Structures are given as C-alpha cells and as structure tokens.
Structure 1
Amino acid sequence: MTQLLPHPTRRPLPLPAVLAPAAASTLFALTPIRRPFAAATAGWVLSLPALELPLHVGVVVGAATAPVLARRSTRPSDVIGVGMAVLTCAGLGLVSTRQLAAARVLDRALAEPHDVAGETAGKSTTTTTPPSPRHRTPWPAVLLAPWPNVPRAVRARRGMVYGPDPAANRFDLYTCTNGAPARGVLIHIHGGHFRAGGPSRESRAMLFDHARRGWAAISATYHLSPTPESGFPQHLVDIKRLIRWIRAEGPDHGIPATTPIVVAGSSAGAHIAMMTALTAGDPEYQPGFEDVDTSLAGAIGLYGYYGRLGPATKETSDPVRRPATGAPPVAIIHGTLDTYTPVRGSRRLVGHLRAASANPVVYAELPGAQHGFDAVRSPRYLAVVAALRRFTEPLAG
C-alpha cells in the first residue's frame, strides 16, 4: 500500500517582507526623492498610498503585525518587523497630522487681505473671502468611502460632446436633481502631462460638492498630444470651445447663457485653466468663434505647472508672460513636497498675478502634500473642497 507523504508546509513571508511596501511608501511620503526626475516620479507613485490613505495603510500594517505579536515564540525577523511596524505607524501619524494641518493653512489663505493693484477713489483697496463655519472632517467618508461616488442629489450625464471631435471634445456634466437653473458653472480640466487622462478621474469631490449646491459641474478632456508644446494652442482652444458650448447649448441643459463660469484644473489642467483666464476674448485662441465671450468669473489651479510648454512657444504658452491686469479672482493651491511640479512655479505665478491683478489671488501651500492630492477624500483634500466652496460661492449668480 502506497503511503501518502504529507505536503510540506509553506512558511509565511517574514514580517519585514510583508511590511516593506507600506514602509517604503511612508518613507517616500515623508522624504520624497527629488532627482533624477524618473526616480522622483517612481518615488511619488510609490508614496501615494501613505500620502493619501495613511489611516488605511496603518490598518493594514496593524493587521499584518498582530499575528506576530500573538505568537509565543518569535524569530529574529519578527523583532525587526515589529520595529518596522512601529516606525511606519509613527510616520503615518505624521502624514495624518500634516493632512489635518491643511484646514488651518487654507483658512489663513482665505482670511488674509489681498492687495488690489488698482485704486478706488484714490485709496488702495483690499478684499477678503467671507468667513465660514470651521471645517469639520467627515470621518465616515474618509474611512469608509475614500473614492467619492455620485451622490443621490446629483444627476450625472457622461460622454457629452462640445466640439467637432467626439473623442477629444468630451465632458461629463453633473447637476443638482432639483431641476433649478444652474447658479454657476465649474469646469474642471484633468492633468496627465497634456498627453493622458480623461474626465471624472480627479477632483470628483469638488465637482460633486458644487453640483449639490446648484452649480453645473463639468469634467472635460481636450486634444492630447505627444508633447505639451505640440498640442499648444489646441488644448486652450478646446476649453474656449467648451465655454462657447455653455453659452450656446447650456440653456437646453439648465444652464442660463449668462451663468458665471469658473475654470479649474489639476497639474497640466491648471496650466490650461490659467491660460484660459489670462486670454479672455483673445481671437487668436477662438478661431471661428471670435465674438464669443470667454471671460471667467474665477480660476482655480491645483498642483499646477505654470511655465512655458517649449522653446518655440515660450512667449505665448507661459502664463507669467501674459498680462494679468484682466485676470479674474484666482485660487492657487500647491503641496510643499510636490516633486512632479515643484511649488516654485506656483509662487512665480502668484507673484505675477498679485503685482497686476485688480482681483483677489488666494494662495495656499499645503504642508507635506505631494502631486495629485485630489484623487480621494482625504482630510486634506476635503479641506481643499471646503475652502474652494468659500472661494466660488461669492462668484455664483
């Protein structure tokens, strides 16, 4: 009779190996790689779980460590792993503390007076954003539903077309289900280095928040290109074409033709948003619809790139080379640890705008924030959403 041999038991991975991804993510969240660019980008991608979901990563670390602590006998690797878990959780705690600090930074940015370049009745003037109740973090949403889904009070219409190219000229439209005319329009332009991305992937919480409050919230894409410069100025023309669609076709979708429009963008989309704000009515970027009013009620930039798109277009594609005297109210928000689009670009644009614009320029640097902080409902990003609600509310019709 053949004797059955027992299957060899598979030894579990040592705890340090199990915790290595979380530990590395936390390390790069706190001390990002800055050079070379390829390594910095890889480090940024690896840091995203700890940066944006530190509490969730902490739960995973705790769940992996608990069985080791419950064992009576330990191996040397267990001691090392427990030490890694303690250090990782401490680092995640620091990340969480920085996230919570964003609300205070944003409150200060909104409350401080903003110098106005012009004069009224011979006196220099200042403006401030109206105060609001203190922001409270909705912890159930942060912990249980970090990826925001369309709320019940919001109607979603996806895959709409605003121009001649149905692939490139697409957008998703979010409106309140109460059927009231839109009080304002918020256009969000995605990032992706001008060559990737699509609607409704970033800033979803901001879009849904505005739609709930009676705005028409639009997430749009544009003609993507192999390089940023090769797509200029087509992507700028695309967004102006979307504004024309709002003015002409919007009334059929509950958007009055005179509704105030705010354009926001993330990363590359922030560049397009600022260029849109600084080229209102410029016929060069409105071919075939030169007479359409493309002026904005406001503009928002999140972790944006605001430099030239290439040497051949340095005079036309750099927002800082555009006159700022006619700029609308602007809010620019950037992370202090952004390695993909460093914060100095935002500081440069803010200086340019504040030197010449007759409208407020709200600027906030979020402590410890990296690129892409608007993907999930973290305490930091929800504080950004609350701050932008305060910024846009006075601009509504």
Structure 2
Amino acid sequence: MYRPTRVPLPVLVAPAAASTALALRPVRGPFPAATAGWVASLPAQELPLHVGALVGAVTAHAWGRGQRRPSDLVGAGIAALTCAGLGTVLARHLAAGPALERALREGAGSRAGEPQEGAGSRAEGDDTATTTSSAPRHRTPWPTVLTRPWPLPPRGVRARRGMVYGPDPRANRFDLYTRADRAGDRRSFADAPAVRGVLVHVHGGHFRAGGPSRESRAMLFDHARRGWAAISATYTLSPTPEGGFPQHLVDVKRLIRWIRVEGPAHGIPAGAPIVVAGSSAGAHIAMMSALAAGDPRFQPGFTDVDTTLAGAVGLYGYYGRLGAATRDVSDPVRHPASAAPPVLVVHGTHDTYTPVTGARRLVRHLRAGSSNPVVYAELPGAQHGFDAVRSPRYLAVVEAVARFTDRYA
C-alpha cells in the first residue's frame, strides 16, 4: 500500500525561520542580496502573529503524529526559536506607537503634542466611526490585526476608481475615496458631506511600477472615513528614475490642479487644504511637490495654479538625486526649505532598500531652513514597505498621520 512521504518538520518550518531571521537581522549588502532578503523577510516582518500561528499549527500537527522521528525534535526546536524571534518582531511593532508619540511632541512642540480640539479619532477596527473628536492614546485593535490584516474599503466610505486627471488616461489615473452619510449611500459626489481636506497618496515602485490603491490603503480609508477626500494616484512611469523626471513631478502637480479646478464638481472645495503623502519613490515626489510649490519649471501650461501644500508626509522614502544629469534639481535637499509646509517623515531603522540615512539627511535640511513643524519618527526594526497590511506598527502610523494632517484641515 502506497504511503505518502512525510515532509520532515524542519523543512516545513524552515521558510518561516528564515523569514524571521531576516526580519531580525536584515542583509545590508550588496544591494541585490539586501533586496532579496527584504522580500523574504516580509511575511515575518509584517505578519508575525499569523506566521507564528502557522508555525505552531504545523508543529502541533507533526508532533501529534503517532510515530515521531528525531527530525521532529529538531523541527520543534527550530519552531520554538522562530516563535521567540517573532515575539521580538512583535515587540518592535508595539514600540512604534511610543516612537511616533515622541516624534509628534518633539517635532512640533505643543502643536504636535496632545491633539487640539477637532483632531480626528477612531478605532481602526470600527468601520462605522466618522467622528472628529480628540484622538485618544493609541491602542492596538487586535481583532482587526488578527482577522482583517488586508484593508478593504469600510462601510461609510464611497470609492470611485479609475478617474483621470491629465492628458494620459493610463499614467494620470487615480482613485477617490470620500465619506458617505450612511453605508450604501449611492448619491452623486456633489451631494456628499462636506470635505475637510484632501489627502493625496503617491505610490512607490522605483518610479517604474505600481498603481493606485496598492499601498497605504488603511491610511486612505481612515482619512475618507473622517471627512477627507482621499486620493491614491499614479504617474508617468519610466525605465529609470531619472528618465521620468520631471514628468512624474509634473503629473502630481497636475493632479493638484485637478483638485483646485475640477474638485468642486466632486464635492471638494476649491480652497480645501491639500496634503501630499508618498511611499518610497512616492515620498520623493511628495517632498519635491512640497519644496517646489509654484515652480514654473514643473508646471508647464498651468503656472498660474497655486500648488502650495498644507503639508507633506513621507513613508520609507528615497530622498536623494535621481541621476547625475539632474542632481541639482531632482534632489530634494537642493531646493530651499524656507517655503516648506509642515512635514512628517516616518522611516524604519532596518530599511535596507532606502536606508534611514537618507531620511535623516532630508530632516536636517528641513529643520535648518523651515519655520514650519518637521516631525520625524524612526520605527524600531521596521523594514521597507510597512504600509501594506494593518499590522500593529502600521496602525500606529495611520493614527499618527491622522493627528498630523488634522492640524491643517
């Protein structure tokens, strides 16, 4: 009688063990190896509880079989070490909240300490929350973390996808999320509740890949639920970062023009404050948009439009030059910081794709020249791409961004 071959327990738990080890001690170089290590670490880095549950289930099943082998004992030991490592990863997640709290207090003094009257609050797991009362101290919504890690549009938020803001319907696309009066409301956007402000999120992807609503979804939905118009946009992609410059910056400025000119037809007041946020490459574009507001070089054909921002947010961003030929114009620190709006920069200490040194360099430049708040938080142990799922770490970031943006709505 045929009996299927038993896969040894060490083999079954090896992927989780490797992912956990790379989350704890990332590969720093060379760059291809560091990138591969980052990708391999993502399951343990972003979903430590889920990976731990899977390791525990596999180990319990193998250990509960009638006839144990020596490899089962070895596998159980690897599983135990993996779970211990995942506990360390989870502890780093929980350290994000205090780090962000300190940054909000230190970066802008009383203006970024305890929320002022009107600052937004909500429990991330409460899909019906639409209040704008003062935010309490962050508490992790564990049911959401465990059962709904992938953020879906919550009740009370309306989505309109595939909208176009420029001449290229492929490159100039965006998704718009706004709050509805009640779940299932299907009225026109002109009849929607008043919009407090506009949050634009620009995706990453090394300037050559990506699309709307793939990153920072929890942040977008949270802002929409609290009365903002939340926009997730793409831009002109190119084989190299420098090859697309300055068109990707022009695109985002053209989106700002759309908000000012076309936004009222979609319930967005013409004078609504605009905050541009970005992840990775998108953070570079967000900071350039903030530092080059009104620069005619990046507003061809619409130099008369006010592209001044109320704020800018950068998540695990790259903030250096895009190439040797454009080093004087594509590097954010080559632009004066005197006219910079309030800025929030959040970066992981273990980021191997865009090392934290670049974020520190930008923050030094901003603080040396800007009279506006510059809030900077380093998340202990965080890697690149920490805004994909509703982890304890990212939910703390979502709340911190809400407290930051609500000051300017």
Does residue 252 in structure 1 map to residue 252 in structure 2?
A: no
Cross-structure match for 2:231 = 218
More off after superposition, 75-84 vs 127-136: 127-136
Cross-structure match for 1:308 = 321
Quote the Cα distance in structure 2 between the aligned partners of 1:259 and 1:141.
Answer: 32
Q: How does 1:1-397 map to 2 (within 5 A)?
A: 6=1, 8-112=2-106, 114=108, 127-131=111-115, 132-178=135-181, 179-396=192-409
Quote the Cα distance in structure 1 between the aligned partners of 2:111 and 2:140.
Answer: 27
Secondary structure (helix, strand or coil) at the match of 1:334 reads: strand
- Of structures 1 and 2, the larger Rg is shown by 1
Q: CA deviation at 1:12?
A: 1.6
In 2, are the aligned partners of 1:129 and 1:390 still within 8 Å (CA)?
A: no
Secondary structure (helix, strand or coil) at the match of 1:300 reads: strand
**Paired positions, count:** 380
In 1, are the aligned partners of 2:103 and 2:376 still within 8 Å (CA)?
A: yes
In 1, are the aligned partners of 2:199 and 2:230 still within 8 Å (CA)?
A: yes
Q: CA deviation at 1:79?
A: 1.1
Q: Deviations over 1:37-60 (max 9, x none)?
A: 111111100100000000000010
In 1, are the aligned partners of 2:107 and 2:375 still within 8 Å (CA)?
A: no
In 2, are the aligned partners of 1:33 and 1:339 still within 8 Å (CA)?
A: yes
One-letter amino acid of the structure 1 residue matched with residue 152 of structure 2: N
In the superposition, relative to structure 1, how do residues 141 and 236 fare at CA in structure 2: closer, same or farther (>3 Å)?
A: same
One-letter amino acid of the structure 2 residue matched with residue 272 of structure 1: I
Quote the Cα distance in structure 2 between the aligned partners of 1:11 and 1:48.
Answer: 30
In 2, are the aligned partners of 1:162 and 1:169 still within 8 Å (CA)?
A: yes
Quote the Cα distance in structure 1 between the aligned partners of 2:376 and 2:97.
Answer: 13
Unaligned stretches of 5+ residues in structure 2: 116-134, 182-191
In the superposition, relative to structure 1, how do residues 249 and 113 fare at CA in structure 2: closer, same or farther (>3 Å)?
A: closer
One-letter amino acid of the structure 2 residue matched with residue 128 of structure 1: A
One-letter amino acid of the structure 2 residue matched with residue 277 of structure 1: A
In 1, are the aligned partners of 2:107 and 2:376 still within 8 Å (CA)?
A: no
One-letter amino acid of the structure 1 residue matched with residue 227 of structure 2: G
Q: CA deviation at 1:181?
A: 2.0
Unaligned stretches of 5+ residues in structure 1: 1-5, 116-125
Alignment RMSD (CA, Å)? 1.0
Quote the Cα distance in structure 2 between the aligned partners of 1:351 and 1:389.
Answer: 24
Cross-structure match for 1:3 = none
Q: Deviations over 1:257-314 (max 9, x none)?
A: 0000000000000000000000010111000000000000000000000000000000
Secondary structure (helix, strand or coil) at the match of 1:312 reads: coil
Q: CA deviation at 1:130?
A: 3.5
One-letter amino acid of the structure 1 residue matched with residue 175 of structure 2: D
Q: CA deviation at 1:11?
A: 1.8
Quote the Cα distance in structure 1 between the aligned partners of 2:226 and 2:243.
Answer: 38
Secondary structure (helix, strand or coil) at the match of 1:112 reads: helix
Q: TM-score, length-normalised on structure 1? A: 0.94
Q: CA deviation at 1:111?
A: 1.2
In the superposition, relative to structure 1, how do residues 129 and 326 fare at CA in structure 2: closer, same or farther (>3 Å)?
A: farther
Secondary structure (helix, strand or coil) at the match of 1:311 reads: coil
Q: CA deviation at 1:71?
A: 3.4
Cross-structure match for 2:127 = none
Secondary structure (helix, strand or coil) at the match of 2:159 reads: strand
One-letter amino acid of the structure 2 residue matched with residue 82 of structure 1: A
Secondary structure (helix, strand or coil) at the match of 2:346 reads: strand
Secondary structure (helix, strand or coil) at the match of 2:167 reads: coil
Q: CA deviation at 1:394?
A: 1.1
In 2, are the aligned partners of 1:270 and 1:301 still within 8 Å (CA)?
A: yes
In 1, are the aligned partners of 2:112 and 2:404 still within 8 Å (CA)?
A: no
In the superposition, relative to structure 1, how do residues 72 and 12 fare at CA in structure 2: closer, same or farther (>3 Å)?
A: closer
Secondary structure (helix, strand or coil) at the match of 2:325 reads: helix
In 2, are the aligned partners of 1:30 and 1:95 still within 8 Å (CA)?
A: yes
Q: CA deviation at 1:335?
A: 0.2
Q: CA deviation at 1:127?
A: 4.4
Quote the Cα distance in structure 2 between the aligned partners of 1:89 and 1:225.
Answer: 41
Secondary structure (helix, strand or coil) at the match of 1:65 reads: helix
